Structure 1
Amino acid sequence: MGMKIEQLRSFEAVARIGSFTRAAEELFLAQPSLSRQIAALEDEAGTPLLHRAPAGVTLTPAGEVLLPIARRMLADASAAREQLDELAGLRRGSVRLGAPPTLCVSLVADVLAAYRAAHPDIELHITEGGSRSLVQAMDEGALDLALVVTRGAGAMAPGTELVPLLSEELVVISSAARGSAGEGLLPARRGVTLAQLATMPQVAFNRSYDLRVATDAAFASAGLTPTIAVEGAEMDAVLRFVERGIGVAVVPAMVVIDRPGLRSMRLLRPQLSRTVNLARRTGVGPSAAAAAMQDVIFEMVARVAAPGTELADRVDVAPRGERD
């Protein structure tokens, strides 16, 4: 096909926004120019790609097929430009990293701080979301790298490689504030069983969270019904609610670091854990900026559970050979 990058960029903008007028504004094009580019692309494809209607623009079946391909082509073109720009060194470029909220408040914050200190001229773009949506975004070319969570083996999508980074325990947290309603929720013992946890008032995550899916599945498998105090919260809200003593919550062990308002206890019988992976596209070499990001991620993962650290007994780092 003789499709041009400018035509694909115009098509992607119209498909995403649902309006020729607003897409033209975003691309700084006159609307007739945008319309001509779309018409030329449809001629090349040999079929209509968009439905035009007073209520907005929608994709035809052919448009649905072309859209993810167009996004990958645009991403590859952008990556090629960045790699050419970076031949002289990491003085320009960008990295688009995706991660679930539970990692953005822990590992990702340290990764970005270290990367920014080493490469201050590189633009950083972060996307928060569920692991599957992040892999889909990467497959479409919207992300360079993603940190994703799994509880099994294998790629989450064709063309995606998962590199195991670490295995992390899930722990139960409560308020550490003296005299708070939540101070006495966790017993003074080594850990809490799932059956004991089910009787405690819980601050439950939004059901879209991978973490909520895992804990719900554990309760269901054990024939238990949890006691819910508050349901549907996002990550920051869950931590704040627990600090205020509203209830307990199940979170990854790394989340508790540097949070003096929280105390944690191990979850026992069963012990729950998750695997954190680096997701990257196969067959597509990373830009220099993205390759540097990978190195920083590996370095920070090695530090997080180093002997003598708070997480040494709750996080197992994958052997380096699994990442090469």
Structure 2
Amino acid sequence: MQRIPCVLMRGGTSKGPFFHAWDLPANVVERDEVLISLMGSGHELEIDGIGGGSPQTSKVAIVSPSLHPDADVDYLFVQVMVAERRVDTAPNCGNMLCAVGPFAIEQGLVKAQGDKTLVRIRNLNTQTFVTSLVQTPGGTVKYEGRTAIDGVPGTAAPIHLTFLDAVGSKTGKLFPTGQARDVFDGTAVTCIDMAMPLMIIEASQLGLAGNERPAALDADSALLERLEALRLQAGRAMGLGDVRGMVIPKPVVVSPPTSDGTLQVRYFMPHNCHRALAITGAIGLATACVTPGTVTAQLLGEHALQLSEVRLEHPSGVIDVALSRDGGKLQASVIRTARRLFSGYVYAPTMRRLAS
């Protein structure tokens, strides 16, 4: 067995191990095999690993010092599949990202700068940049605080994330198909790439109210088949090719809010409904709300185009996204929390056993 230094962290509504890049194999194939093994991928409970048996808890963050002048650290996100023995490094994960700052400071990759420390992060999955403002009174990361986020019990210290250049994260374009609204199999969708490639559909077009619980949606095989058929078409139209082996684009079902939100959301990952909402997905949805011609803009009406803050209702509560422009570029900010859960070593079979 090989022993690998590891820190398990909760980031937002996700959870997973954080590694230094130098503690994992440099060869990508070998690295992925190690991650699959230590997470227990290939079993619905990930019983022979530290994965939690859910896409939200089968995630890995790999962090290293950055050579880019605009970043302090590089962050690679790895989505480890639960039932299949494979990984996907195409998307970013904003929830895991909010724990990168605290990890980098505590591991000595970034020096604390007073009561608050700004960590500049380059996401290697999308080659985009994010700043993370972490509470560091006395030069030490503070996890305790009064900030609550829906989907996580209790309160913690706030972490401010600002996505600086999230437009076209994977495709290079906000609307990769060349338009804000497309029609596949008679269904109107918006294909948008802002922090995460998304395929947005109004709930009524799928025969849904939009307030269904995730478990009910996961059990609706006809719905999942229809979403996947639309997602495959969207992937090709967005220039991503055959996306059957990829987790992008993410299908998102939207409907009018039920309380004081801007929009109600059901976010798929892509074959299971998220129990809350991905941060990168929230960034894309908020952008769609204020962009003319999108499915969301048409649903909400013209007043939404002037919003500077979008409140997204999800199965566990709400996420607020603040929107601003810097030199004409749209930027989005969210407040999240994180927590260090344990640090030590995780054990994985040697490569010789994995190869056999």
Q: Which has the higher helix share?
A: 1
TM-score bracket, normalised by the shorter chain, equals under 0.3
After TM superposition, the score normalised by the length of structure 1 is 0.26
Q: Which has the higher strand share?
A: 2
Larger Rg: 1
TM-score, length of structure 2 as denominator length: 0.25
